[in-house]
Structure 1
Amino acid sequence: MQQSVWHTAYGDIVYWQQAQAAARETVVLLHGAVMDHALFAAQYQALADTYRVLVWDMPMHGASRPFMPVSMLQMARFIEDIVEHEAMGAVHVVGQSMGGMVAQYWAQVAPQRIKSLSLIDSIPLNPRYRSKLDAWALKTVPFFTKLSFNERAIPKMAAKIASTAAAQAYVVQRFQDVSKDELIHIMRVLVEGINSANEMPLNMPVQAIVGEHDGLGKVKAYNITWHQQERVPLHVINGAGHNANMDDAAAVNALLQAWIDRASYQRG
């Protein structure tokens, strides 16, 4: 992978890419909160044989630290700037959890940029899917993070996020790498990004992927409702948790490959 750095007034963003000489399509991978680009290691390996692939460490995450707290909307603007700088044209986007939310903001910032969206254990940002009680409960997340986050809590958090031992070990590593202050800032950005979202029409092919045992908040419930109300294709990964793309990489990779190929054919 070729590593690059995108300089901003808020901090530096580190990203990686690999381009195949004959690649006609480009895939951008956006990881979730607290994670880093390694979340997509299995997807990067599978997709890079066919496509040009770009993955980043989201601002405030991994190698993209220190970084001033910025909104998900600003993150979307940053990834648009990077993709424009790399002359990538229209791209397919895969977003996991918070990365899927940034992807939806990106679809509003530059709707012609995105050929297709694959959202893994993420949620639709349209506020119609969340009650006032949901919005209030989200606002308490930073407070309870400050109250409860410590070294002893990390294994329990990992077990809630991932179902396989390898994926849980990765989650433990990521949470051990962030300070409590960094985690609180990330949670505030996440909550504000969800609660401040307006209706966000997604005028490109969209599929939702969710782990069978995703028990993080109401992620699974929102996806089921989204599927029922808007007929968004929903794929449930058996045995997987919130980080479904790590828990069962083969199943998720097959879904991504088929979706990208279908969208590429439709768009010509």
Structure 2
Amino acid sequence: MVHYWIDRHSDPRSKCLVFTHGLTADHRIFGRQVPYFKEDYTVITWDVPLHGLSRPYTDFSFNNAARDLNEILIQEGIHEVVLIGQSLGGYVCQQFAVDFPEKAIAFVGVDTTPFGLSYYSRSDRFWLRQVEWMSRCYPHHTLVKAIAKGCTRTPEAYANMITMLAPYSKAELCRLMGIAYSGFLKENKETDFHFPVLLILGEFDNFGKVSQYNQEWVKKTGYPLQIIPAAAHNSNEDNPEFFNARMDEFLDSL
């Protein structure tokens, strides 16, 4: 069963924002966004399949995750959404926009990378396939701390990431990373979105090649890129005030 949370705005005309978290995190990564944005919007957060309360889950794919999100929207009677996807959540959002283009009115990619075959070299694809077995080489506590430290810059964001990682055993954590990255390689495709897009990147996001991919994404598409100062991969948590203000400006422009 996929779990989600909704803060419905009293004005039925208000836009709906769907926040989708990244790999090994859960809905709690948006703890500084929900209280802020629910004042003006309907806000949905959810635990992506294989994460948080949405586990166990069989037959994971980004296509199936997009369908699960669509079922949530059908259940809540919501017909259009602004998609906000952090890291791996950006892949779910892009897949949703491909599968349900009539429901996606905008996309905010937060420290994520693009769908598109041309962005990823043969070497990139090779190393993504190695993630699962390489992660098995580390003791569990070392792996957890390395993931949390690599994603965050502030003590608060680090502590929250540790909390979100706590439920996973080492075997589950490694398998999760393997399934997610292999799934991306299988489902990656060329895309052409016809709605507003904002890319957001932490100033100190050194997670893999995320920064490099974003620069290429901007060159290819012309999408605006907003750098979040004093922030790493979980930029919405490291600097929520700046992040929320930049998202507010984008939403006001829609």
Normalising by the residue count of structure 2, what TM-score does the alignment of the two structures yield? Answer: 0.95
Q: Residue 17 of structure 1 aligns with which residue? A: 6
Q: Are the counterparts in 2 of residues 69 and 186 from structure 1 also a CA contact under 8 Å?
A: no
Aligned equivalents of 1:201 and 1:213: distance in 2?
Answer: 28
1:56 aligns with 2:46: yes
| Aligned match for 1:229, one of 197, 217, 220 | 220
Q: What CA deviation, in whole Å up to 9, does each residue of 1:136-168 have, x standing for no partner?
A: 010000111122251133223322110000001
Aligned partners of 2:246, 2:183: CA distance in 1, in Å? 27
Alpha-carbon separation, structure 2, partners of 1:186 and 1:205: 31
Q: Cα gap change, 1:255/1:178 in structure 2, threshold over 3 Å: closer, same or farther? A: same
**Residue-by-residue CA offset, 1:162-190 (whole Å, 9 max, x unaligned):** 00000011111222221122212321232
SS in 2 for 1:62: coil
Q: In 2, are the aligned partners of 1:28 and 1:92 still within 8 Å (CA)?
A: yes
Aligned partner of 2:117 in structure 1 is 127
Q: Does residue 1:246 correspond to 2:246, yes or no?
A: no
User: Once superposed, which parts of structure 1, at least 4 consecutive aligned residues long, lie more than 3 Å away?
Assistant: none
Task: Note the 1:52-91 alignment, pairs <5 A.
Answer: 52-91=42-81
What is the match of residue 150 of structure 1? 140
* Cα distance change of structure 1 residues 120 and 133 upon mapping to structure 2, 3 Å threshold: same
| Identity %, equivalent residues | 30
**Is contact 2:20–2:48 with CA below 8 Å preserved after alignment?**
yes
Aligned to 2:253: 262
- Count of residue correspondences: 252
2:110–2:200 Cα contact (<8 Å) kept: yes
**Which residue in the other structure is 1:207 paired with?**
198
Instruction: Indicate the larger mover: 55-64 or 161-170.
Output: 55-64
1:113 equivalent in structure 2 = 103
Aligned 8 A contact 2:157 2:234 in 1: yes
SS of equivalent to 1:13? coil
The runs of 5 or more residues in structure 1 that have no matched partner are 1-11, 264-268
Q: Which residue of the partner structure matches residue 178 of structure 1?
A: 168
CA distance in 2 between partners of 1:254 and 1:157 (Å)? 27
Per-residue deviation, 1:40: 0.4
Distance 1:189 1:255 in 2: 33
Alpha-carbon distance in structure 1 between the residues aligned to 2:245 and 2:223: 18
Q: Match for 1:138 among 113, 128, 149?
A: 128
**AA of the residue aligned to 2:244:** N
Q: Judging changes above 3 Å, is the alpha-carbon distance between structure 1 residues 67 and 149 closer, same or farther for their aligned structure 2 residues?
A: farther
Q: Matched residues in 2 for 1:101 and 1:26: separation?
A: 19
**Partner SS, residue 116 of structure 1:** strand
Q: Is contact 1:27-1:93 (8 Å) kept?
A: yes
Match of 1:198 in 2: 189
Deviation at 1:236, TM superposition (A): 1.0
Q: Is the 2:81–2:106 Cα contact (8 Å) retained in structure 1?
A: yes
How many angstroms apart in 2 are the aligned matches of 1:46 and 1:227? 28
The residue aligned with 1:7 is none
Q: CA RMSD in A?
A: 1.3
- Which amino acid is the alignment partner of residue 67 of structure 2? R
Gaps of 5+ in 2: none
Amino acid at match of 2:4: Y
Quote the Cα distance in structure 2 between the aligned partners of 1:195 and 1:157.
Answer: 21
**AA at the equivalent of 1:125:** F
| Secondary structure of the structure 2 residue equivalent to 1:147 | coil
Instruction: Summarize the Cα distance change of 1:111–1:149 in structure 2 as closer, same or farther, 3 Å threshold.
Output: farther
Q: Give the conservation status (yes or no) of the 8 Å contact 2:135–2:143.
A: no
Q: Distance in 2 between matches of 1:79 and 1:189?
A: 19
Quote the offset at 1:69 in angstroms: 4.5
| Paired residue secondary structure (1:148) | coil
For 1:177, what is the secondary structure of its paired residue?
coil
Q: Quick check: 1:102 aligned with 2:102?
A: no
Tell me the TM-score normalized by structure 1.
0.90
